[in-house]
Each structure stands twice: as C-alpha cells, then as structure tokens.
A and B are shown apart, each in its own frame.
Chain A
Amino acid sequence: MDETAELADFRAETRAWLEANCPEEMRQPVRSDSDICWGGRRFVFSSPAQKLWLERMAERGWTVPEWPREYGGGGLSKAEARILGQEMRRIRARPPLSSFGIWMLGPALLKYGNEAQKREHLPKIARGEIRWCQGYSEPGAGSDLASLRTSAVLEGDHYIVNGQKIWTSYADRADWIFCLVRTDPEAPKHLGISFLLFDMESPGVSTAPIRLISGSSPFCQTFFDNVRVPKENLVGAPGRGWEIAKYLLTHEREMIGGMDSGAAEGRDGIAQVAKRALGVGEDGTLPDSMLRTDIIRQEIDSWAFALTMERVKDEAKAGQGTGALSSMLKYYGTELNKRRMELMMSLEGTESLLWEGKDREGDLARAWLRSRANSIEGGTSEIQLNIIAKNVLGLPAA
C-alpha cells in the first residue's frame, strides 16, 4: 500500500505508543459483556487495566478518534483513524470504550446539536463519564416507530414528559437518555416528534428490567411520570426530531451491521475455528463434508461482505458515495452474523449447550442467543428490506 510519508510517520508513532500503553490484559479477545468498558457514573471497572486503558486513550481523544479536539476527540483524519484502527487490530487491542454515546448520539449531536449542547455532552461521552441509553421504541411503536406516543408538553422553561418506552437497552445503568417524544399531537405523525435529552435521575423516571432468553436483563421498560426537562435540552427544532432520529439510526445500523466483518478484519474466520475444533483429515480437508460446505459458503459471503464494507468506505473517500447503504449493511451483516453463530454452535456440538458452570461456560450459548437480536434491534431485517425497496430501488408503496 502506498502511504504518504506523513501517514507512515503517524503509523510508526501510533504503533510505538500502543505498544507502550496498551496493557497486556487489554489485548485479549472480548469474550463477554463484562469485558466491555461502557463507562458512566456508576460503572465498575472489571480490572485496573481496563480503567488505565480508558484513561490513556481518552487523554489522547482516541476513544473517538475522528471527533474534533474541542469536543474531546482526537481530531484525526479518516486516513489516520483508519491507521489507528489497523494498528489496534494488529495487537488485538480492545476498544477502550463502547457506548451508545459514541456510536449514536455523538454523530447526531455533531450534526444537529447547538454549540452549548456539543460542549456539554460530547467531552463526557469521549471520556466515558456519562453513559447514554436510547429511548425510541414503545409498546405500540416498534417497527412503526413514528407512531410513538410519549408526550412532552412545554410549560414555561420546561417540557413535561409522560409516557412509556420499552426495550431501552441498559436503561437501568445509563445516566442520560436521548428520547423521542411527541411535542405536537396535532401534526402529521412524522412532524410532531422531537429529540430530547435528559438525566435518568430526574424525578419521575423509573425502569423495570426485562429478562431475555439469554437469562440476562440488558434492557428495560422505562416510565416517565411528569418528568421536567429544561427546554434547552431539545436538539434541533421542535417537531423536527424525526430527521435526527433517522440520521442516528443510519449510524446505529452501520454499527450493528459491521459486527460480521469476517476474516478480513483480523478476527479468526469461521474456517479457523472449525480447524481448531475438528482438525483436518489426511486429505487436508475438514472431516464433515456437509459442514465443510456450509463453512465455505459462510466464508465466501463473509469475505464478500467485508470487501463490500471496504469498497463502500473507499468510494465515500473518493466522493463516489452510492449512499443509502446503511440498510444493506445492517440487513446483510446481521443475517450473516446469525448464520455464523449457528455454525459456531454446530462446531462445538454438545459442548455448545453448556449454560452455567465454572470459567466461561455458557458464553457461547449466550452469544448465540444474543445474536438473534441483531436482526431485530435498530430496525428489523424486514424493515431494512422495505427501506431498500422504497428508497434505493424506488419501488411503489404497498
């Protein structure tokens, strides 16, 4: 690869810095949720190394490498950020911080927030001080999100929020919520929605965890009972929240879709896992020929998908953006990841069924169960196909 001298220097410095500063423990594969650093007021670090890694990276703004420096980011160019990513993968460094703030709210605030909102919220996201949750879905508004009914009524300097959200991931552990509310019940449904930020410690907010098929309770029902929210916490203009909501969803979808980046991204491909699990026979091939065929198909699609992510980025860089591909990446990536997890289970056979026990038993089965949600959260696969049909292919409405 041709790299300018400047970028080559950046790579060398980055490599040296990471070697010196990334603790050994933070170079082990992430195996379960407890290995992930989510940050937030109440976050309990799983090890001193996890804390140190976050602090060191945050100090350079490298938890959010491409955000501007004045908001706590690293101010890196796309090319530099890519190099940082590659160098982190090279030593298998864990992300120092994962959060809805980074993936979803940050990009939306950078585009739609006012200066005060950016200065208030972005640095705290970058340093992992405030953990955010997403208040979109309601019991009656899932795929048809725009039919949401949680209301916000302006009284003096405050909005009074009433209603209920559901499936709010980590609502019981989050500090703040970005929330879709209806500010104008008279307007057509897409035009009465606003984008509001508030503290989960505000009086009138309560949560009730929901238990999942994986046994854990990462999400909640969230209730709002006369919650008072300062009116300056509304992002963009009143009634224009839908546009922000959709913009944020494209980021969420790309993030979820990217979870199957396959062999090209340095993670072991399914074929490597299979070789370790099953070994190869005398002819150098995996012993179970039907399973081998499935694995080959998976590798082909996974590789083709990773190359597509690469092409989409390269085209964007060259200003040739095909655009509107986030639904494609979400749909295809999540369906692939589900297939991959089915194969992972098959490869481990009955061992894959373990649920509770010593060490990390049960991790695989839980990961398999968790992956089922990929094609539901952030807009279901069917909804992504609807969006492609309508917005990309221009097919007539049903």
Chain B
Amino acid sequence: MSEPDVTSGFGGPQLGGPQPGGPQLGGPAPAGQEAVRLEDVHKSFGDLEVLRGINLSVAPHKVICLIGASGSGKSTLLRCVNLLEPVNRGRILLWGQDVTAPGVDENAVRRHIGIVFQAFNLFPHMTVLRNITLGPTRVLGVARDEAEEAGHALLVRFGLSEKQDDYPDRLSGGQQQRVAIVRALAMKPGIMLLDEVTSALDPELVSEVLGVIRELAAAGMTMLIATHEMGFARDIADRVCFLDEGVILEEGPPRQVFTAPVNGRTQQFLRRIVDAGRL
C-alpha cells in the first residue's frame, strides 16, 4: 500500500504544531527537497490537449509565476497539481512523493496544498469565520474553539477581523478574495496555488490582494501563481514561466524573461502586453 507513505510524508509533526501567533509558512518541507515537481505532465479534455508535456520544479520558499495567453493552460496546470484534474500522462511529485500514483489518498494530498480561485468560491451559506474553520475542523480534526481562535488570529493579521461574522456577499471583492486566501492558509498548507486571484477584481481592489500575497512571499510561503499582472510577477517571482499552448516555452528569473526573452513567442507575448500598457 502506498497510502501510508503519502500521509507520513506530508502529515507528520509539522502539521500538528500550530503556531498561535500566525501560521508557520513554507510548510512541511523536508529540508532541501523540491516542494513540487512536474515531469512530462500531459492533460487533455476530450480531443483538446491542454497540457503537452510540462516540466517544472518549485523549490521550497520560492515563488514561481506562470504567465501566458488566455487558454494556454495555466489554470489547468494548477488544478492538476491539486488533483482537481487527473493527469493523462507524466508525474507530479510533492515533496518527493508521486501524488499521481494509483492509490494515493487525494484528500490527504490536498490538505497540504492551498488553492485560491479567480472567483473566490467562498461558501455563501457560512460566515467568514466558518468558511475559514471548516477545513481545520472537518478535515484536520481541530477542536472548534481552537480553530476559531486560529482563524480569528489570521483575520486580524490580514485586517479582516471585523468581518468575521458577516456572510461573504456582504464583503467587497477584495475582502472576499483575502478571506479566500485566509481560508486556504488556515489549513497550514505547504504550498499555495493562486489562480489569477485578482482578475475578477475592480482595479482599485487589486492592490490590497497583491499586498497579502507579497506578505506571504516575505514570510517564506512557497507559491505557484498564475497571473496576468506582469508588474506584480516581475516584482515578486523568483522564477517566471511562460506557458504557451500547453508547454513551458521559456523559464528564468523575471529580469531575464521580461527584459531579454529568448523565445520568439515570449517576445511577441510581452510586446503585446507592453503595447497594452500593462507592463
């Protein structure tokens, strides 16, 4: 059975040790190991091949930004890492363990991955605090009051504590997205996947959400971020990957990718962005 393997690799003492003052970011990484590694990942929807051999590795405490045109497969890639979509070929390793192997407990894997969606996806029938404590109480088995205390601490940290008893539809888009980030953080994930988390926001609300992500990066959170915010990607990323038609065409430090792209298609993509005034 490979199941005990998987849980032992992630579970372990790191998860059991909540830090009352705020979450310990960066997660359960055995020192020196890659947080995520994708090997020749293929994914199709019917006849449409969306990912065509992705190779990617994310080191602990690093921020990787995925850029690329709409439909290039950024969201699909993130969903595959979180096992929301099964891959057709290739492997995905989390902290050295193959999570695409048969018999892996997907719920155990997802516990260690926080994902934030473009459309927030908060639970509309629950208060902000309940949104945040649902995972810890029902998945990790944390006692209710303990989870609420930790959730409250997180909300305070991200300036949302007055909102904790409100329902999501009473919040602004920016607040909702920050709650969604906090909800993911409450699980003390080892890595965060962010899928265009500012695309659904009014321009004036974008910066408050980007601010939160910057804070996470500064605290050492490992993150894989799909984004259209090129300026942000340039500032925050340790590495930038340019995704085009399901393959990573170019990858490197942001300075190199943004100022001296090698690949012709990357140049074309960036030129269009610059022309649109978005960089």
Binding partners A and B: no
> Footprint of B on A, CB under 8 Å?
none
